[in-house]
């Protein structure tokens, strides 16, 4: 039985570079597929409200601004968002996406809200996962707002 | 002279605030009393107002360390209610994350045990290696803590060939490092001496007090849901239930190190035999009315969820029994006849994540009623002094 078997290991590490990085001077980049903050691509949102319904934190709010113009406002309350990316999974048209930002602290919760005002898009929802996505634009109902 | 010591209940950093009141005579604990319910978050009630898919993320937040355990337990139960079976590949990935979580939880615990035993370099090295597991988890799921990999009907993300080889490479690194710690015990007698004989829980007590997880297995009760009532893929994966017969904190350490090595085997099996195919099936929004009990072996022990469905898209009732609750009765038995100085170690040994945050203890003289506060660091110094005096444990052998 030897006393202090850990000491050689400790001494060896005196000459190795540290296991940590000098944050915030050096930053590690998050891996591919990192779940950062959700954001909207208003061009493709068909206002199906799937994201609003499935968001576990109730962080997505969609209000209709004008029924005639089909204008909507989608707000993501990032102060409530738990970064689960369920909205991305639920969205049938890939309008909801995730960025890879991780330094998202703010001084006020109101700075964390992100809102988009847009006219509802007319896009055929992508086919359910197993079948190959083959959009057929001609099948869309005619629309008056493009 | 008998003195009462209250510990807790509230501490800003505690994940599970808990009131501990100990009657001591000198340094010996004569009686311990546990008061629960200080951190009632109302998760079960909230779950009644959310859809199944939302509840997946809610249950994930019951625990910060075994987050995947709770969401898997819930998903397993919900899948039976929905009458769907996740595809093979999805199951393999789900339980791959389970085992990764077990490894990161046990490594975290080993570090904490090292810290509480006064072996801080061990704590730093183990936690450095734990980063590898966290990186793998982040790579697979996109997040380090709340992986959110489960969905009802499978998992949400697939891994590609490059990731698969990378995980296998990293597992080899982890295995080499864990073997180093395994051998460390034979050559670091002070560490072994500090852990041996502390927090004794006999096999009979472990059985009668319904201890779960590594706490029970360290008292030689081979209780493991993965073997006793295999769920998912565990009936086809070869692995052993690890036990120890020393019935003390040393045994709990040994069981966890052995389990980590078993987990590497399971993960390698899963990765080498990963079937092709989809990772999830589509779930309907509403299950049939019914009820289900789902069990799962979390890193800390058996985790139970009861879900009752009334045919709507929200569960009518969700009941969660987390493993730490199952171990509280056993903790009281362990604390009795122990020393005040061992409280941190004994409490840490059931892995409740309470000890690392607790910084001061209040001593109340039962005659004068005058409280005196002992800082956690002073408690640790007392522990060190007592261990130095204690010569009978000098010759304890590392059992591995
Ligand atoms: S990431 Fe999750 S919590 Fe955040 S908005 Fe999307 S669904 Fe809601
Ligand atoms: S973002 Fe996607 S899920 Fe949400 S309303 Fe628009 S189309 Fe529907």
Question: SS3 of A49, please?
Answer: coil
Q: What is the mean pLDDT of residues B60-68?
A: 85
Contact B50 A56 (CB under 8 A): yes
Among A107-111, A117-121, B109-113, B339-343, where is mean pLDDT lowest? B339-343
Average pLDDT (A36-48) is 91
* Cβ-defined contact of A129 to B131 (cutoff 8 Å): no
Q: Does B203 touch chain A (CB under 8 A)?
A: no
Confidence band for B384, pLDDT divided at 50, 70 and 90: low
For residue B190, which residues of chain A lie inside 8 Å, CB to CB? 3
Higher-pLDDT residue of B355 and B87 is B87
pLDDT band at B184 (very low <50, low <70, confident <90, very high): confident
Whether residue A21 is contained in a domain is answered as no
Tens of pLDDT, residues B133-170: 999 999 998 888 888 899 999 999 999 999 999 999 99
pLDDT per residue as tens digits for the range A52-93 = 999 999 999 999 998 888 899 999 999 999 998 999 999 999
Ligand 2, atom 6, lies closest to the CA of A45
Cβ distance A56 to B56 less than 8 Å, yes or no, reads: yes
Per the domain annotation, does A80 fall within a domain? yes
- Predicted structure pTM score: 0.84
What's the pLDDT at A129? 47
Stretch B17-36: mean pLDDT: 76
Ligand 1 binding pocket, CB closer than 6 Å: A 38, 55-57, 59-60, 76, 81-87
Note the pLDDT of residue B366: 43
Provide the phi-psi class of B224: left if phi over 0, else alpha when psi is between -120 and 50, else beta: beta
The domain spanning residue A84 has which CATH number?
A: 3.30.70.3270
CB-based contact, B121 to chain A, within 8 Å: yes
Is the distance from CB of B291 to CB of B195 less than 8 angstroms? no
Residues of B in contact with A10 (CB under 8 A): 121
Give CATH for domain B43-322: 1.10.645.10
At B363, the pLDDT band (50, 70, 90 cuts) reads: very low
Q: With 50 as the cut, is the pLDDT of residue A130 above it?
A: no
Ligand nearest to the CA of A56: 1
pLDDT-wise least confident of A86-90, B182-186, B389-393: B389-393
Residue A64: strand, helix, or coil: strand
Atom 3 of ligand 1 has which residue's CA nearest to it? A81
Residue A132 placed within a domain:
no
B189: chain A residues, CB-CB within 8 Å: 1, 3
**φ, ψ of residue B109 in degrees (nearest 5):** -65, -45
What's residue B133's pLDDT?
92
Confidence band for B397, pLDDT divided at 50, 70 and 90 = low
Q: Which helix (H) or strand (E) holds A74?
A: strand A71-77
Lowest mean pLDDT among A111-120, B207-216, B265-274, B349-358: B349-358
Contact in structure between B200 and B244 (CB atoms under 8 Å): no
**Chain A hits for B180, Cβ within 8 Å:** 9
pLDDT band at B271 (very low <50, low <70, confident <90, very high): very high
Is A144 domain-assigned?
no
Best interface-test mutation with A: which of B51, B54, B160 has the largest number of A CBs within 10 A? B54
Determine the pLDDT at residue B97.
93
Q: What is the pLDDT of residues B274-326, one digit of tens each?
A: 999 999 998 888 888 999 999 999 888 888 899 999 989 999 988 888 888 78
Contacts of A128 in chain B (CB under 8 A): 282
Which stretch of DSSP H or E encloses residue A116? strand A113-119
Q: Residue B62 in contact with residue B69, Cβ under 8 Å?
A: no
Q: How far apart are CA B244 and CA B102, in angstroms?
A: 18
Say whether A56 and B58 touch across the interface (CB within 8 A). Answer: yes
CB A10 within 8 A of CB B121: yes
Q: What is the pLDDT of residue B365?
A: 42
- Tokens standing for residue B303: 């985790």
Nearest CA in chain A to B129: A19
B160 Cβ contact list (under 8 Å, min separation 6): none
Tokens of B239: 């692995």
- The average confidence (pLDDT) of chain A is 81
Q: Is B120 on the interface with A (CB under 8 A)?
A: no
Mutate to test the pocket of ligand 2, among A51, A70, A92, A119 (most ligand atoms within 8 A of CB): A51
| Average pLDDT in chain B | 81
In ligand 2, which atom is closest to the CA atom of A91? 3
- In this prediction the ipTM stands at 0.79
Residue A142 in this model has a pLDDT that exceeds 70: no
A127: in domain: no
Tokens of B381: 């110094």
Which is higher by pLDDT, B383 or B141? Answer: B141
Q: Give the pLDDT band of residue B111 (cuts 50, 70, 90).
A: confident
In terms of pLDDT, which residue wins out, A133 or A115?
A: A115
Q: Residue A86 is part of which domain span?
A: 33-119
Residue B261, beta-bridge partner list:
none
DSSP structural state of residue A51: H
Taking the domains of chain B in order of start, what are their residue ranges? 43-322
Q: Domain for residue A18, yes or no?
A: no
The domain tally of chain A equals 1
Coil/strand/helix, residue A8:
helix
Q: Which pLDDT tens digit goes with each residue over B312-362?
A: 999 998 888 888 878 888 888 888 877 877 777 777 777 664 422 222 344
Considering only CA atoms, which residue is closest to atom 8 of ligand 1?
A: A55
Residue B29: pLDDT band (50, 70, 90) is: confident
Please say if the pLDDT value at position B171 is more than 70: yes
Note the pLDDT of residue B331.
83
Question: What local confidence, expressed as pLDDT, does residue B1 receive?
Answer: 67
Q: How far is the CA of A85 from the centre of ligand 2 (A)?
A: 13
Partners of residue B51 in chain A, C-beta under 8 Å: 53-54
Spatial distance between the Cα atoms of B176 and B264, rounded to a whole number of angstroms: 11
pLDDT of residue B9: 63
Ligand closest in space to the Cα of A38: 1
DSSP helix/strand/coil, A90: helix
Q: What is the pLDDT of residue B387?
A: 61
Cβ–Cβ below 8 Å for B53 and A54: yes
pLDDT attached to residue B21 = 76
Look at residue A87 and tell me if it is in a domain. Answer: yes
Q: Which of A3, A6, A34 to mutate to test binding with chain B, by most B CBs within 10 Å of its CB?
A: A6
What's the whole-number mean pLDDT along residues B162-184? 89
Alpha-carbon span A13 to A10, nearest angstrom? 5
The verdict on residue A15 lying in a domain is no
From CA B301, how far away is CA B17, in angstroms rounded?
Answer: 20
Q: Provide the 10 A C-beta neighbour count for residue A117.
A: 12
Instruction: Read off the pLDDT band of B368 (50, 70, 90).
Output: very low
Among protein residues, the one whose CA lies closest to atom 8 of ligand 2? A48
Q: How far is the CA of A129 from the centre of ligand 2 (A)?
A: 16
**Strand-pair partners of B301:** B298
Residue B177, both tokens = 């490092």
Residues with CB under 6 A from ligand 2: A 40, 45-51, 90-91, 93, 95-96
Among residues of chain B, what percentage have pLDDT more than 90? 29
Tell me the helices (H) and strands (E) count for chain A, helix number first: 3, 5
Confidence of residue B377 (pLDDT cuts 50, 70, 90): low
pLDDT of amino acid B352: 66
């Amino acid at each position: 039985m030897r006393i202090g078997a850990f000491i050689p290991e400790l001494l060896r590490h005196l000459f190795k570079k540290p296991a940590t990085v000098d944050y915030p001077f050096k930053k590690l980049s998050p891996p591919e597929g990192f779940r950062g903050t959700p954001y909207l691509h208003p061009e493709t949102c068909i206002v199906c409200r799937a994201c609003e319904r499935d968001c576990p934190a109730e962080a997505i709010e969609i209000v209709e601004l004008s029924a005639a113009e089909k204008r909507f406002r989608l707000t993501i309350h990032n102060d409530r968002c738990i970064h689960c990316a369920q909205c991305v999974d639920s969205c049938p048209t890939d309008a909801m996406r995730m960025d890879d930002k991780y330094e998202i602290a703010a001084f006020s919760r109101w700075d964390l809200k992100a809102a988009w005002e847009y006219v509802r898009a007319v896009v055929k929802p992508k086919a359910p996962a197993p079948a190959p996505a083959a959009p057929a634009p001609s099948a869309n109902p005619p629309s008056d707002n493009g | 002279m008998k003195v009462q010591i209250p510990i807790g209940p509230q501490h800003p950093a505690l994940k599970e605030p808990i009131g501990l009141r100990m009657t001591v005579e000198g340094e010996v604990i004569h009686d311990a009393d546990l008061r629960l319910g200080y951190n009632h978050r109302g998760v079960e009630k909230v779950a009644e107002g959310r859809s199944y898919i939302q509840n997946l993320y809610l249950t994930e937040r019951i625990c910060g360390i075994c987050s995947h355990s709770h969401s898997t337990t819930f998903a397993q139960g919900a899948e039976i209610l929905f009458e769907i079976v996740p595809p093979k590949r999805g199951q393999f990935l789900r339980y791959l994350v389970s085992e990764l979580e077990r490894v990161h939880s046990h490594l975290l615990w080993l570090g904490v045990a090292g810290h509480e035993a006064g072996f801080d370099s061990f704590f730093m090295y183990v936690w450095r290696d734990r980063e590898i597991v966290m990186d793998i988890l982040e790579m697979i799921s996109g997040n380090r803590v709340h992986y959110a990999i489960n969905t009802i009907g499978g998992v949400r993300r697939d891994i590609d060939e490059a990731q698969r080889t990378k995980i296998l490479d990293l597992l080899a690194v982890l295995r080499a490092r864990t073997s180093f710690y395994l051998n460390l015990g034979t050559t670091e007698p002070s560490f072994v001496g500090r852990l041996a004989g502390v927090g004794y829980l006999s096999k009979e007590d472990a059985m009668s007090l319904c201890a779960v997880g590594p706490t029970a297995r360290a008292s030689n009760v081979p209780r493991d849901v993965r073997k006793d009532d295999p769920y998912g893929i565990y009936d086809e994966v070869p692995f052993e239930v690890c036990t120890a017969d020393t019935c003390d904190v040393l045994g709990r350490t040994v069981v966890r190190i052995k389990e980590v090595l078993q987990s590497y085997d399971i993960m390698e099996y899963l990765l080498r035999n990963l079937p092709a195919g989809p990772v999830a099936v589509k779930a309907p929004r509403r299950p049939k009315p019914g009820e289900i009990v789902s069990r799962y072996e979390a890193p800390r022990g058996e985790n139970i969820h009861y879900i009752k469905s009334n045919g709507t898209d929200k569960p009518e009732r969700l009941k969660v029994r987390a493993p730490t609750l199952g171990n509280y009765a056993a903790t009281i038995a362990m604390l009795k006849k122990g020393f005040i100085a061992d409280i941190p170690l004994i409490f840490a040994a059931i892995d409740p994540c309470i000890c690392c945050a607790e910084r001061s203890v209040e001593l109340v003289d039962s005659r004068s009623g005058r409280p005196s506060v002992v800082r956690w660091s002073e408690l640790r110094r007392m522990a060190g002094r007592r261990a130095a005096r204690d010569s009978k444990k000098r010759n304890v052998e590392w059992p591995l």
